[in-house]
Structure 1
């Protein structure tokens, strides 16, 4: 195993993420690097541009922001403890949020009614069939 030097401030931030994600500092660095290396959702396999829709959810006093991709139904969390995580569906992302913020409840949620459009506050359901 190789060691790297980081500034004290950066180490504090990695330690904070490790506590939030309940992971080791090494796992935090790996997750951040994996996220950086992950292909962007801005293009599909055929090279066409994908339009992301900004959405949010408020759960247990936490405001979580995400981007929903109508053409693939994927959702990328962009803020909070799950920032950088990608889910195959709005419901999967909603379940992830519930598990992270309230692990003592059954996490199943309907993502279409859990997430709201940042643009106008309407439920994600309103653009489901676009």
Structure 2
């Protein structure tokens, strides 16, 4: 990734920051206006049974929900919307196969592929390593 050019206008930097965080510019503005609200929401998220996750692959963002009680992932956006998978990895593999059907091997670690939307951390941060 290239460094941010100091001559880059502020709004372009703002848009770049939102893209790097994987959130909308409106969400970034809300987080900047009230960081304590975000911190309290983030600290509560690991206890929730349903956790919003996202993945960015080949320039496309896929939204999903991870169910901690069943370890299933339900895709909420894109071509696979409405499909539930029995694991984070099987959902990740399906996304990779759909977006990049020419990839030789679609094997993907779902714990690293999926990012917890509220924290920006890999799903592994909630599940631990294997």
**TM-score category of the 2 structures, normalised to the smaller one:** 0.5 to 0.7
Deviation at 1:51, TM superposition (A): 2.0
Provide the TM-score with structure 1 as the length reference.
0.60
The partner residue of 2:62 within 61, 64, 89 is 64
SS at match of 2:54: strand
TM-score (structure 2 length as normaliser) = 0.60
Give 5+ residue unaligned stretches, structure 2: 1-47
2:52 alignment counterpart? 54
User: Deviations along 1:58-101, whole A, 9 cap, x unmatched?
Assistant: 00111000000111100000011110111000000000000000
Matched ranges for 1:1-80 at <5 A: 51-80=49-78
Name the counterpart of 2:113: 114
Q: Which residue of 2 aligns with 1:45?
A: none
Q: Which has the higher helix share?
A: 2
Q: Per-residue deviation at 1:107? A: 0.6
For the aligned residue pairs, the C-alpha RMSD in angstroms reads 1.1
Q: Secondary structure of 2:102's partner?
A: coil
Unaligned runs of 5+ in 1: 1-49
Aligned to 2:101: 103
Question: Which residue matches 1:87?
Answer: 85
**After the TM superposition, which parts of structure 1 deviate over 4 Å for at least 4 consecutive aligned residues?**
none
Aligned residues: 80
Partner SS, residue 64 of structure 2 = strand
Matched residue SS, 2:90: helix
